[in-house]
Chain A
Amino acid sequence: MGPSYMRKILIVDDEDDIRAVAALCLETIAGWEVCTATSGSEGIRRALETRPDAILLDVMMPEMDGPTTFQHLQQDPHTRSIPVLLLTAKVQGADQRRFADMGVAAVLSKPFDPLTLGLQISAALGWER
């Protein structure tokens, strides 16, 4: 990956404030290009359109939750290879294990530290910064 390559990340979260803060931090601190979606179905559409390098996907969303969205992404050959990181405020170990067992790249906890979110994603995906 050349140094001039700008990572592109898709944030899928129904909460405006979470999307805003995550986008702000990933753009400002990590220097990545960020696109956003407010629902699972929009996230799937945006993933097909933008082909991001990774997807940060909220677990608890109305209509289509994160795990279901992830399953749809996995079923589509165009999006199957995009690493997905689940973002969840669920703190129970059983929940975390269940999410991890789905085959996602990582499970990140809310609340996240705005200064280290990019680092957490990079570390989880083995990206050099």
Chain B
Amino acid sequence: MNHKLHLESQDMKKLPSKSASLNPKEKKHAASAAPAQSSGLHLHTSTAVQKPAPAAYVMPPQLQAALNQVWQKSLPLLQQRVGVLDDALAATKAGQLNPELRAAAALEAHRLAGLLGTFGHPHGTDAARMFEIVFDSDAVLTPKLAESLSPALSTLHTIMSK
């Protein structure tokens, strides 16, 4: 599991700030480099030199370990949910999607979308959301449309294999 969950709250456990020990020049460099990080953070880097560096927070190790356990425990169920999407997509490609499977796929996609981001998989939420939108819509599902969902399904499988 790859948690990329960082925040800036004063209420969370403060970890040692990497920039706290830097000289002003280094701080400026650190501030300008921050947006390039791939964490998805919203860092207030423009004021990093004038004010104490904003506190950077990461998942406390104990909490991360506990979340990992929940993830591992949940994984079989999550894989089952992705399996429903597998079935629905295959049925759509074959022109054999029935209303029951379509509704089940929409529900499982909804559940996956609501959960994967919490476990540090925002791309998983995005991928599942695509399924939810498509299967929950009134649109006629064509094999071509199903094909366009294949990358999203691959994303979900990749996450499930971690």
Say yes or no for A24: interface residue by CB 8 A criterion. Answer: yes
> How far apart are the CA atoms of A18 and B118 in the complex, in Å?
9
> How far apart are the CA atoms of A114 and B9 in the complex, in Å?
13
Tell whether, in the assembled complex, residue B7 and residue A114 are in contact, meaning their CB atoms are under 8 Å apart: no
Say yes or no for B152: interface residue by CB 8 A criterion. Answer: no
Tell whether, in the assembled complex, residue A115 and residue B70 are in contact, meaning their CB atoms are under 8 Å apart: no
Chain A residues, CB < 8 A from B125? 111
Which residues of A, 13-34, contact B by the 8 Å Cβ criterion?
Answer: 15-18, 20-21, 24-25, 28-29
Chain A interface size, under 10 / 10 to 19 / 20 to 34 / 35 or more: 20 to 34
> CB-CB contacts of B62-88 with A at 8 A, as 1s and 0s?
110011001001100110000000000
> How far apart are the CA atoms of A25 and B162 in the complex, in Å?
22
Tell whether, in the assembled complex, residue B116 and residue A111 are in contact, meaning their CB atoms are under 8 Å apart: yes
Chain A residues, CB < 8 A from B54? none
Say yes or no for B127: interface residue by CB 8 A criterion. Answer: no
Chain B residues, CB < 8 A from A119? 9, 11-12
Tell whether, in the assembled complex, residue A15 and residue B111 are in contact, meaning their CB atoms are under 8 Å apart: yes
Which residues of A, 84-103, contact B by the 8 Å Cβ criterion?
Answer: 88-89, 91
Which residues of B, 99-154, contact A by the 8 Å Cβ criterion?
Answer: 110-111, 113-119, 122, 125, 129
Least CB distance, B160 to chain A, in whole angstroms: 14
Say yes or no for B30: interface residue by CB 8 A criterion. Answer: no
> How far apart are the CA atoms of A91 and B129 in the complex, in Å?
9
Tell whether, in the assembled complex, residue B57 and residue A111 are in contact, meaning their CB atoms are under 8 Å apart: no
Please list the residues of chain B having a beta carbon within 8 angstroms of any beta carbon in chain A.
5, 7, 9, 11-13, 57, 59-60, 62-63, 66-67, 70, 73-74, 77-78, 110-111, 113-119, 122, 125, 129
Supply 14 further A-B pairs (C-beta < 8 A) apart from A28-B62, A89-B110, A111-B114.
Answer: A17-B73, A17-B74, A17-B78, A18-B115, A18-B118, A20-B74, A29-B13, A29-B60, A89-B114, A110-B114, A110-B115, A111-B122, A113-B117, A114-B63
